[in-house]
Amino acid sequence: MSMTFQNTAQLLARFMEMGAERVFCKRLAENDNSKQQIYLGGNFEVLSFFPHGEITAFPDLKYPNFKAPLDLYWVDAENTEQAVGAQLILYPAYPEVRLSGFLNGCHTAPTEHLQKIPKEQRRGIDGRVLIFGTTSDKRTLVCLAPANSPLAAEILKKFSESLPNGLFLELTLAVDSDQNKENVLMALRRIHAAGFHESCRRNNKGELIPYKASNGGGYTLEALLGITPNGKSEPDYLGWEIKGHSSNRVTLMTPEPNGGFYGERGAKEFVERYGHEVKEGGMYFTGGHKIGKPCVKTGMTLQVSGFDPLNPSRFDVSGSVNLVDSEGNEAASWAFAQLLMHWNRKHAFAAYVRYTAQKIPIAYRYDTPVLMGEHTNFNKYLNALCSGAIIFDPGTKVMNARTSKSTVKARSQFRINTKDLGLLYQKLTEEKISE
């Protein structure tokens, strides 16, 4: 039997004890139950709240969808129990995200409060609240505040007094009060006030070391914020993705193609087939590729398959972004499932920080204002791509090409001009970091 928390103080203490770094709540409707699943939101931004597993497309179902597993645990005042098979289900045709399998194998979960209510008994008022906590090791903790319970009453009062984050209301943890927009800006103000910073990065031990290459603006900013480069699809700092840039064009993400010739044969053979030669036996694959327009440098055209910006409900879960050569062959492709996972998890909140470079010694100054983007979803990304605002601008190279000693540096960049960043976010603001 579930042992309900009496108030938010008890709940937060228990969640913090279990490693929660973020806690948020959702008011349940009468049709949120174990049979009909729990509705979490009307767009894919919901993914940014949950540390889910790999997204898989299921295009052949009656209602085509994406699914992503959750490491979900029911928590009450005394018990912890894993729901085996819990998952997020993303229905792009609506669009909406639902939680499924959340009671599988559980004996102490509040099953009695998650049963289907017959239509004739529905009153249109519910009163239940579902509370989630997420941890750094990718667990999702969950508990239910039953209708008319002291805990539900306390949280519903907070809903009435606050502006929820979409469907969710954030509960502040004592240990993560720094994790908000203002504290990101405070850190950037400190960095700005110090002027030029010599180029550096952090090694895999987190130690600060010099960085001598000329592309150190982003590495140096991350190092100053205490970030160790790891290539993970997670936000960088206090829940925010930090993007350093020296020009009006910024790199959004660098996902490697998982289909086409590139996906089958790899970067080396792709560049040797489609790239252009440079001095000393090297080959590069570069050029700005926009949707529907052949690139002058490569003759290739970027296409989107399975998405219509004029009718976004016709979203094909098996869709992809494709790079097609002049003969109509698929040279490279990125499945929507791959791009969706990367975009929503990492970019829900992003700070774009312009920097000025100094050559001797190599150093960087981080300038004001900073562009702060809040709330995005995958449809916004695809719309911007289809409009031509986002371009595929690769910088992949192979040195000693066509030899056994060749070395490869893959760089599959999707980029956008800063003037177009507003297309990607519900809210984009300029924030001063100077005194």
Most confident of 13-17, 88-92, 176-180, 338-342: 88-92
Residues of the chain with CATH 3.30.70.3570: 241-431
| Contact present, 145 and 131 (Cβ < 8 Å) | yes
Angle between helix 378-387 and 336-347 (nearest 10):
110
Query: pTM for this one?
Result: 0.83
Q: What is the pLDDT of residues 218-271, one digit of tens each?
A: 999 999 998 877 655 566 787 789 999 999 999 999 999 999 999 999 999 999
CATH architecture of 8-175: Beta Barrel (2.40)
The CATH number fitting domain 241-431, selected from 3.30.450.40, 3.30.70.3570, 1.10.510.10, 3.30.390.30: 3.30.70.3570
371 vs 341, residue with greater confidence: 371
**Cα(11)–Cα(103) distance, integer angstroms:** 20
- Cis bond upstream, residue 361 (ω within 30): yes
Q: What is the pLDDT of residues 97-128, one digit of tens each?
A: 999 999 998 988 989 998 887 777 777 668 99
Residues of the chain with CATH 2.40.330: 8-175
> Left (φ > 0), alpha (ψ -120 to 50) or beta: where does 281 sit?
left
Name, in order, each residue with C-beta under 8 angstroms of 432's C-beta and a sequence gap of 6 or more. 368, 369
